Amino acid sequence: MSKTHSAFTRAFIYTGGRLGPWALAQLPADDAYLIGADRGADFLIHNGYTPHLALGDFDSVTSDQMNLIRENAIELLTCDAIDKDWSDTELALREAIARGYTNITLLGALGTRFDHGLGNVHLLRVANELGCSLTVLDEHNEIRLCDGRLKLASNSAFPYTSLLPLTLEVTGITLEGFRYPLHQATLRLGTSLGISNVLDAPAGTITIEDGLLLVIRSRD
């Protein structure tokens, strides 16, 4: 018998960007509420996973794929492709938060469409305003938001850490455990000072006083 959504502690949203085996490897064994947004639902089903929720306008799937989604998803929410204010990915995020999830991983949010990718990165701010911890993840990048203090454990899969302001200015930036330390530094939108740092210690800490800071861990 399937768990109800209240039985899970975190949600994983699969959306319609670049996906692959790496995206399935991120799933925990038995503690993930699975949301498929548009084509992300088809991806889950074709790889043997049952979405607890499939939602979107489904303008990126064929009629056969839509039938498969309708038959296999535990719950289906559809919306009109024109009469909506948010992208399918944002709809999925807001729905997950409305259902009580504060720990969410977003996969398939990056890909060939830079406009979609950048818009999805900006969802980190939406999630933060709604009290949610969101991670945007793809095969080469892990993107989070720091609005006060963020502790990072060393991860050999993502050896580089870059810091980019999401607000016009981020002040009071202090780094501990990094190869290139900062103390009470300021980063302004458009600067590259925070690109490609390295976490040398087993764990590091990023502290800021004001603003919103993108923390991007990546590999080549």
Length of the chain: 220
Distance between CA atoms of residues 115 and 119, nearest Å: 6
Domain boundary among 77, 112, 139: 139
Q: What average pLDDT values come out for the chain (220 residues) when binned by 10 residues?
A: 65 94 88 94 96 93 93 91 74 95 96 90 96 95 97 94 97 97 95 94 97 96
| 117 and 214 fall within a common domain | no
Instruction: Work out how many domains the chain is built from and give that number.
Output: 2
Residue-level pLDDT at 112: 85
| 77 and 59 fall within a common domain | yes
| 132 and 149 fall within a common domain | no
How far apart, in Å, are the Cα atoms of 93 and each of 27, 80, 201? 17, 17, 33
Domain boundary among 116, 139, 162: 139
Name residues whose C-beta falls within 8 Å of residue 140's C-beta, 6 or more positions apart in sequence.
218, 219, 220
Domain of 203, CATH number, reads 2.60.120.320
Residue-level pLDDT at 31: 85
| 76 and 121 fall within a common domain | yes
Domain boundary among 97, 116, 139: 139
| 128 and 206 fall within a common domain | no
Beta partners for residue 12, in sequence order:
34, 105
Distance between CA atoms of residues 76 and 146, nearest Å: 33
Is residue 216 within 8 A of residue 143, CB to CB? The reply is yes
Both structure tokens of 53: 């929720």
Residue-level pLDDT at 2: 45
| 114 and 209 fall within a common domain | no
Sheet holding 160-165, edge to edge: 76-78, 53-56, 33-37, 11-14, 103-107, 133-137, 141-146, 213-218, 160-165, 197-198
Structural domain boundaries enclosing 162: 145-218
| 150 and 97 fall within a common domain | no
Is residue 178 within 8 A of residue 200, CB to CB? The reply is yes
Beta partners for residue 213, in sequence order:
146, 165
Is this model's pTM higher than 0.85 or not? yes
Strand 169-176 versus strand 185-188 pairing type: antiparallel
